[in-house]
Copies of this chain bind each other. A is one copy, B any other.
Amino acid sequence: MGGLPTLRIEPVPLERKVRPGDDLAELIAESTELEEGDVLAIAHTVVSKAEGALVKLEEVEPSPFAKTLAERTGKDPRVVEVILREAESIVRVGPDFIITEVRGGMVCANAGVDESNAPPGYVIVLPEDPDRSARELRQRLRELVGVDVGVIITDTQGRPFREGVVGVAIGASGVPVLADRRGDRDLYGRELKITIVALGDLLASAAELVMGQADEGTPAVIFRGLKPELERFEGPREARAIIRSPSRDIFR
């Protein structure tokens, strides 16, 4: 933002697949040399796995409503049942997906239930409180390696009006996720108007360029030396702040 020097985004490959109960901070600290000023972005799928946020499909009994929705969307009725359990409300039903609002108010497809990269017979669900997960991961990294890094937990989402998925921040700690530049002046000295930048989502999208989605070997990246640059923004530091409230949303 402004006169940044070159931005470096380094992949952080993990040594092995993440399992429930794993200490993610330890796996990360083993894979990379963290430095003061780093921002770590990590895919929610591995956070969910470490936290045991997995559902065994064999044990899921779909309700009649789940079966109806499954027929309409072509999805596995048990997966739809998990989606319905994870969702607070249904925003819209598409041809092969269900747009939901999940706890905390985030709108996303299929309540974030992820069939890809889950162990066979399981689906991955969202971490219970991704901002808390980010806070705990940051705290644990500080304990292990003695440096304070920013943490962003990422997901990929589709969106209205545009094809393809992009990165979004669903959890954060220690970095501003919205940068309010309304005080700034443009290059003719006038005050800027619409200038709240979704920094957290920019970081998540930039991270996605490096991590990819399929390759769990690289579920995390590090932005080198970025944190000091971001510190001048006074914006909120929890990803929940990026969620637009329905009253401010003309598309709900």
Contacts and interface: CB of A to CB of B under 8 A. Distances in A.
B202 A206 contact: yes
Interface in A100-158: 106-107, 109, 115-120, 156, 158
A192 B116 contact: yes
Contact of A17 (B163, B164, B187, B215): B187
A217 interface: yes
A36 interface: no
A163 B2 contact: no
B186 A116 contact: yes
A196 interface: yes
A197 B249 contact: no
Nearest to A246: B161
A67 interface: no
A168 B161 CA distance: 12
From A13, A166, A212, name the one whose CB has the most chain B CB atoms within 10 angstroms. Answer: A166
From A93, A109, A215, name the one whose CB has the most chain B CB atoms within 10 angstroms. Answer: A215
Q: Is the interface of A mostly helix, strand, loop or mixed?
A: loop
A11 interface: yes
A9 B196 CA distance: 22
B197 A201 contact: no
A66 interface: no
Given A162-B244, A250-B94, A197 B213 contact: yes
Nearest to A201: B166
9 contacts: A117-B186, A117-B187, A159-B161, A161-B243, A163-B178, A163-B242, A164-B199, A187-B216, A205-B206
Given A4-B209, A163-B244, 14 more contacts: A2-B214, A2-B218, A4-B212, A4-B218, A7-B206, A115-B193, A117-B187, A119-B188, A162-B198, A166-B201, A166-B202, A197-B213, A206-B209, A209-B226
